[in-house]
Amino acid sequence: MNPRKVVLFANTDWYLYHFRLSLMKRLRDDGYEIVLLSPPGEYAQKLLDLGFRWHAVPMQRRSLNPWRELMLIQWLAQFFARERPGIVHGFTIKGAVYGSLAAKLASVPVCINAIDGMGYVFTSNTAKARMLRPMVRQVMKLAFHGPSCALILQNPDDAMLFRQAKIVEDRAMRIVRGAGVDFKRFTPREETAGEPQQPLRILVAARLIREKGIEDYAEAARILKAENRSIRFLLAGAPDEGNPAAVSVKAVRRWVDEGLIEYLGHVSDMPALLSEVDVVALPSYYREGLPTTLVEGAACALPLITTDGPGCREVVSRNGEDGLIVPPRDARALADAIRLLDDDRALARKLGRAAHEKGLREFDETVVLDKLLATYRELGARRRGAPIMHAESA
């Protein structure tokens, strides 16, 4: 096995490109050999163009076919046996579980399992989700057990859930807050003295699923539009077709036709978009890991509006100081928070500055990647029997 070879495995190439590119570059700069695995998509070529090795995985993201899933684990185990990496780092529940099981079969020394959010099985109360939950917990216990395995979570709420379910021991859990945002790339825009006040522009950037509060956002727009306010409500994000909680494109088009929102679709250049808005909101009632969209807004010194839910409360923890907190599933409270910032632009600027200071301290990619690389070194040392310097635990 090559202790300096790392396989990064995710359920989409989009995820690798948008959320783990800084990790790839840091690993490469630190002398690691990197192999990327994901199902094929439009971002695979972008990764190859950046000089990374990428391989397609025969994985269907939403498959629940037991035979197909077992064949996928076998494919991964054979791939790891050929590549002989020292570390397998899997992302999202499926990537982490399958990557870890396959790594055990191939005798990979170190497994790092990163779960960004709890996903449909743990967040939904549908009969299907409740039926799958006990089975998924048992598979997780099997996958994540071992002296050279670490479970990376993004907030204390998720750590508590895993602790209560007795899926892993405390010593195996680490909290690393998010994937990291480059605060040199996402920057506050310059304020021009004497500039006339423009209509407030608010942005929700998220997958189009109900749990992100998309429907509440549209209703808040309806409430404030009825007051003849000239606020612009922007929505960015791709449809999540096949997700049981998906917001339909038809519904989004209806809101656009009503004049409630402006739908931007998927946006690749988020720094450019954020330079043109005044507020970032995420009225989520989803079990977020740590919402990147809020951190990107903080990096741009924009005021944040979110809920007191898992992940969200890590970014905005003090209502009225580092952002505004509203109850989940409460469109009227969301409208009240937006109205407050529309009426008090000085407060909006104050909250934006506070969010930026906190983000730079806690969520900048340098801070996040230092913690991840410390976990790599810790587990490698533990495998070799060397003295351990512990990374931040849960």
Tens-digit pLDDT profile for the chain (394 aa)?
788 899 999 999 999 999 999 999 999 999 999 999 999 999 999 999 999 999 999 988 666 677 889 999 999 999 999 999 999 999 988 899 999 999 999 999 999 999 987 666 666 667 766 777 777 788 888 889 888 899 999 999 889 888 888 888 888 899 999 999 999 999 998 876 556 679 999 999 999 999 999 999 999 999 999 999 999 999 999 888 767 788 999 999 999 999 999 999 999 899 999 999 999 999 998 778 899 999 999 999 999 999 999 999 999 999 999 999 999 999 999 999 999 999 999 999 999 999 999 999 999 999 999 999 999 988 887 666 544 344 455 5
- The answer to whether 280 and 294 are in contact (CB under 8 A) is yes
- The answer to the question of residue 389 being in a domain is no
Check whether residue 43 and residue 53 sit in a common domain.
Answer: yes
Check whether residue 293 and residue 163 sit in a common domain.
Answer: no
Q: How far apart are CA 137 and CA 380, in angstroms?
A: 27
- The answer to the question of residue 357 being in a domain is yes
Nearest of 35, 28, 183, 13 to residue 108 by alpha carbon: 35
- The answer to the question of residue 118 being in a domain is yes
Range of 80's domain? 2-180+364-384
> Residue 386 has what pLDDT?
46
- The answer to the question of residue 190 being in a domain is no
Check whether residue 117 and residue 227 sit in a common domain.
Answer: no
What domain count does the chain have? 2
Q: How far apart are CA 17 and CA 265, in angstroms?
A: 18
Check whether residue 120 and residue 240 sit in a common domain.
Answer: no
Q: How far apart are CA 75 and CA 288, in angstroms?
A: 30
- The answer to whether 80 and 7 are in contact (CB under 8 A) is yes
> Residue 336 has what pLDDT?
98
- The answer to whether 153 and 338 are in contact (CB under 8 A) is no
Check whether residue 255 and residue 336 sit in a common domain.
Answer: yes
- The answer to whether 242 and 211 are in contact (CB under 8 A) is no
> Residue 119 has what pLDDT?
63
Check whether residue 369 and residue 331 sit in a common domain.
Answer: no
Check whether residue 331 and residue 369 sit in a common domain.
Answer: no
Check whether residue 77 and residue 146 sit in a common domain.
Answer: yes
Check whether residue 293 and residue 322 sit in a common domain.
Answer: yes
> Residue 29 has what pLDDT?
95
